[in-house]
Chain A
């Protein structure tokens, strides 16, 4: 409580800009150690607005006017609150507190570590086993006679940002792994992301080679050879460098770069041109501005959209995923994906490819598993990218936002192929930023272990699973999955839209909007009830073989 000088202010005016609200509501503002809470005076509604401190991205204080002192709260989920506090002194106090709260300095200040609900130990421990990557690797068929686990990285000895358990080609000896890791940026050597059972081709990931203009490394060359050999169906692999070629070339001057095709036999190098985190950061700011425009003309809007470049970047990421998925599913060729450090664009490209290749990742549980694998376990720097702590603003970038948006764009194109709805994606998005759960804390597995997160916080996924009712897409067809196992999206520019649900709360919450999904979900509930009643009525005379049917009905209901 040390940062709270004024815990309660009365007669505060609040406008939730994102809800399209024009007239301010009047009420009382409370500051707690975790939330800013606004309670409306109106005795009929007493509406409460809760804003988690870690969701605040910036607090702006406007010059004081006779009416009082005005604060603008920008949130990481793109909500904007306008707060008018009658007394200037209160305003200064609240501002100071919020500024401090929105920039926590230590992990311990974050909600998931500072706030301890009274839940028992078993429940907490169990929450962390809900998503089990070993099970997922088994599901895709590894280990097998092509891909094996390696102990090389136990205790994070070889690469401190990788998980301790990894899959590598069977022919990759520890010496090859260690040698290759020395030749890769941050030691991130090639390892398995996804194994495609139908074609035996694999998606692998790593960071850029430290090749400079002429450097080479025998072990690294053997490593790529091993990746190729682990796919009996093909005599070459693709190396997908997700950066624009110019950027990759520039990296050579710094002793990094990309694979020289003269040194590596049997590789085909492909650049896909996803821009770096700095370009993406400023692009997102521009699209947020587009979303916040009050009454833009169609021309302003479309210019803003074009000028932000955002959809162009989303398309580039989706195109990268499409390239990888095609190589694996259609050509049966394995792909090694990297960017610079292999934790941003690589994570995007690999996870989009998995979504396209495997219907499992289009389910609620599957998307959790995928994020846990390609993002959390492979050391995507969540705490840096999403500024969990006060730090270098140049490290921040909406990398996972873009992945979630790619999934959303796909779900718009294939409305029956995804088990989850838009709400699920938006909810993941806000949890990535909010730190209410320990799942996304830290920057790699090792850091999380050192923090003893599993003992001190809860995992997000079981909670979302519990709420899956509200995240379910009623149009989902599990059997058909839009008629195809592998999704083949059209990535022509006209297939992309601005993600209104994420960037424009204003439009989303404008009543009364009708949603076919809500209608269908309600209908489905009704029909389940009806079916139940029917079974109940038909229960006489009870026959042996009718009981299992009732059993399944019962299961389907919860």
Chain B
């Protein structure tokens, strides 16, 4: 398609840009198919600054015309708010219209990652950090009881799963076909984590389709049965309340009843999802932007947004899951309804709590790739809009942001245990919504495959791990520990993620400086040790 048809005015001179943490500056505004480019008019010192903003990052715009000029307020998905003062009413309207249209285009193959060609990256580079095959081959210990099944090649069984998944050895592909029919969206139980210390596993799936008349599926029951091996018992963590799970039966969904799955004990932990979670984010961002300086109002808005309660639930449910595996020594199956949202949130956090190999920079990115990208979290739907959009909510929901916030809480409570920095979490929070890279495009592996994302875009995770990129994303204080890191979920231990929600305020700048200072100290020390 031609972007130019949406651009009536491509260049405007004498525009004033107001941006947080910078003095307002005058310069030239240029609009392209994917970017807003603002070049600050050369200053006395000869230094010229450029501001490049992905149109995809724009969540909402507001325009105000006064006399012969206009002002466009741009609210970004990374919670930054910019303002452009544009001379000329018509130019202003043209620019506003272009921004609105171009930022809202949702044809994936027209998006910027398909055009982004930095000189130092090649499309021939490896895309992604790992694969189900590699993941399987790295865990020799589980080979006698688990196998890699390619029943899903061609995405014929489950469109949101990768082509290869890890399943119990006794369960044949034919049986898997039947299990898939019994689970919503075909998401049959697959292994996502093997706990080396005691051989217990975490599996995830979607809800069983028992329906109102309590349908059963022998193969599904058998699959779970062989995991726990008669003698043992297992836990099913259902991310819905008991009542919600009951109600789901009316819609054809359901849960694993005690009588059919005798060795398994169900635990219900209600987690917020969907619209409610999106509204929570909107309320929180609104509260952070409240300039009234009224303490009571702030605390009541913070409470009313419920965001921190959601963080608390996420961490405590993940803690429960990890306790089942690490402390009680039982295997666990996690699911909610679709198994693409809160299920992934919980399994990811539990792995960070228990498994030291997920806590390095590579390990964490690999975990995200496996548990979110490959496991079929619908990024495109969930991250279509962020906190400012006036558009009617559809499938948006900030599950991934909630994950990053929860990981930040872990990072905050265990500043030495994680190998990555807050800067990485912030970068990921931005990239999930608007990116130069293809990693977070589409809703599933199948979609990425059909659009040739892996052939035609660059991979964010690979880019972040390049030697020249990785320094700011690693944690200088990191010390490997084999111990599980049990988060405190006491309300006083959980804090607003200032780095993200207040990232455009001066206060955050001081905290960044402190991080910088820590990095310098450790580097100095490192040099000393080397001498």
Contact = CB atoms under 8 A, between A and B. Distances in A.
Nearest to B521: A520
Contact of A493 (B295, B417, B505): B295
A492 B507 CA distance: 10
Given A490-B506, A527-B524, A302 B303 contact: yes
Contacts of A306: 295-296, 299-300, 303
Given A298-B312, A494-B502, A516-B477, A500 B492 contact: yes
Nearest to B310: A298
Given A298-B308, A415-B511, A515 B415 contact: yes
A497 interface: yes
A413 B299 contact: no
Contacts, number: 130
A524 to B, nearest CB: 8
A140 interface: no
Interface stretch (A346-354, A454-462, A474-482): A474-482
Interface residues of A, number: 53
Contact of A497 (B495, B514, B524): B495
A50 interface: no
Interface in A466-514: 474-475, 477, 482-483, 490-498, 500, 504, 506-507, 510, 512-514
Contacts of A13: none
B414 interface: yes
A42 interface: no
A526 interface: yes
B513 interface: yes
A233 interface: no
Contacts of B483: 512
A305 to B, nearest CB: 6
B493 A413 contact: no
A416 interface: yes
Interface string A524-549: 10110011001000000000000000
Contact of B528 (A298, A497, A527): A527
A493 B296 CA distance: 9
Contacts of A474: 521
B510 A493 contact: no
Contacts of A298: 303, 306, 308-309, 312, 491, 494
Contacts of B13: none
A303 B303 contact: yes
Which of A413, A506, A523, A526 is packed against the most chain B CB atoms within 10 Å?
Answer: A523
B525 A526 contact: yes
A507 B309 contact: no
B151 interface: no
Contacts of A495: 507
A414 interface: yes
B496 interface: yes
Contact of B414 (A514, A527, A530): A514
A391 interface: no
Contact of A296 (B302, B491, B495): B491
Given A302-B491, A415-B511, A523-B525, A493 B506 contact: no
Nearest to B414: A514
B518 A493 contact: no
Contacts of B493: 500, 507
A416 B513 contact: yes
A477 B492 contact: no
A332 B14 CA distance: 37
B507 A416 contact: no
Nearest to A412: B511
A328 B309 CA distance: 43
Contacts of A515: 415
Contacts of B306: 298
Given A475-B514, A492-B507, A527-B529, 14 more contacts: A298-B309, A299-B309, A303-B303, A309-B295, A415-B511, A475-B517, A494-B302, A494-B496, A497-B495, A510-B488, A512-B483, A514-B413, A516-B477, A516-B518
17 contacts: A291-B492, A298-B494, A299-B309, A302-B300, A302-B308, A306-B299, A309-B295, A312-B295, A415-B514, A416-B514, A482-B510, A494-B498, A514-B414, A516-B416, A516-B477, A520-B518, A523-B521
| The 5 nearest A-B residue pairs measured at CB | A493-B298, A301-B491, A415-B514, A302-B303, A306-B299
